[in-house]
Structure 1
Amino acid sequence: MPRYDRKEHLKEIHSKRKALTTEKVKQAINKLMKSNNAINFNSVAIEAGVSKATLYNNKDIREQISTLRSTTPLAYNKQQAKLNLNDNNKDAVIDSLRRRIKKLEEENKELRNNLKVAYSDYYKNV
């Protein structure tokens, strides 16, 4: 009967887990590239389901993400949108926000009226 070597067994488990993690990260990067999303440590970690520390600690993965991060176009984000606004866009955004505020105020007023009706029904029954 062969002797059980705990160190070898742990090394084998570690290498399998490392290979699985590497494969998950590669798939996540491919998916992000296909969907034209930004590739950075946060997005890859979320997509792959691993921690950012794992990505930073693996030298090959870290270099790959750093390279892709600097070469891929940045995904659309709110900060860029604010920087790219000109006067026409700002006016459109302001109008949109005003409409939204008006809609929310009307909804709020309706809910307050419904609450008054509900309270009056409750007090009539008490």
Structure 2
Amino acid sequence: MAAVSRFHVDQDGHSVTVQVAAVSGPVEVLVDGKVVARGRAPRAGTTVLHAELPGDPARPLGITLRDMGGVFLCEMEVGRTRYLMPRVPLFPERPPAWRTPPHPFRRMHRSLRRAVRRAMGRGLARRAR
């Protein structure tokens, strides 16, 4: 499992993010970029955190974090509605670094070196007989 997991959803014009540092590590619930609840990640089982969505009146928000064998499942409950929060990557994925093929002269030079080494090796083997 990755050392840090992040879950995010936009709810009624508010950004809700849950960041989990590691198994049995700190958990933060952020609403619109501000930390509104803290807790510990479950080693096994579930953790429930309570917060509020800003507004007039403020609405209660429940976050349930479950450890599913090294992978976290995060649910958000607003009112009586439950939402599964999608996991989002912390850093954008980079495309694979493709190696450029060697220059044709380098390839030719390498193959000539191998051929010379083989020929010399055979010559030395014949002398030893």
Task: Decide which structure has greater strand share.
Answer: 2
TM-score (normalizing by structure 1): 0.33
TM-score (normalizing by structure 2): 0.32
Between structure 1 and structure 2, the one with the greater Rg is: 2
Task: Decide which structure has greater helix share.
Answer: 1
